[in-house]
């Protein structure tokens, strides 16, 4: 539906939450840290994602792919979003300077996003966006 707007008038998409509310940040790899979004009540969609074995397996695969590129999963995710020709802006958030620095490192990953790497990302994430969260 929006494809015509992207192509005909050059409308760009502004993406929100390229790190999937922190799922791709790596902070939930060993459980849910106190004080994180995942520990907050009212974040049932994130709780469902953290319990979804297919999503956590995909995150592990993306982390491995990112490591091959000398990057973090967060950098890979942000670079992947920014590399989309239909995206004009990627909104990120950081509560710590180290998170901001990691996010900005995504720009160095862009040259490594070859068609082969993009195909691997697509294969890893195939069907995950269509999965319904258990959130009400």
CATH code assigned at 97: 3.20.20.100
- Higher per-residue confidence, 69 vs 37: 69
CB neighbours of residue 65 within 10 Å: 16
The whole domain housing 26 covers 3-125
Does residue 81 fall inside a structural domain?
yes
Q: Among 76, 60, 54, which Cα is nearest to 28's?
A: 60
pLDDT confidence bin for 64, thresholds 50/70/90: very high
Which pLDDT belongs to residue 134?
42
Which one has a higher pLDDT value, 83 or 4?
Answer: 83
Mean pLDDT of 92-114: 94
pTM: 0.82
Q: What percent of the chain has pLDDT over 70?
A: 89
Would 60 be classed as within a structural domain?
A: yes
């Amino acid at each position: 539906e929006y494809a015509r707007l992207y192509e005909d008038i050059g409308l760009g998409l502004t993406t929100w939450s390229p790190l999937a509310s922190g799922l791709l940040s790596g902070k939930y790899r060993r459980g849910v840290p106190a004080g994180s979004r995942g520990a907050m009540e009212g974040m049932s969609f994130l709780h469902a994602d953290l319990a979804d074995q297919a999503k956590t397996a995909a995150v592990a695969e993306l982390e491995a792919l990112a490591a091959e590129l000398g990057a973090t999963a967060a950098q890979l995710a942000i670079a992947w979003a920014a590399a989309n020709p239909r995206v004009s802006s990627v909104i990120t958030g950081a509560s710590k300077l180290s998170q901001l620095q990691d996010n900005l490192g995504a720009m160095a990953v862009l040259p490594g996003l070859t068609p082969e790497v993009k195909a691997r990302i697509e294969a890893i994430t195939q069907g995950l966006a269509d999965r319904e969260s258990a959130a009400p």
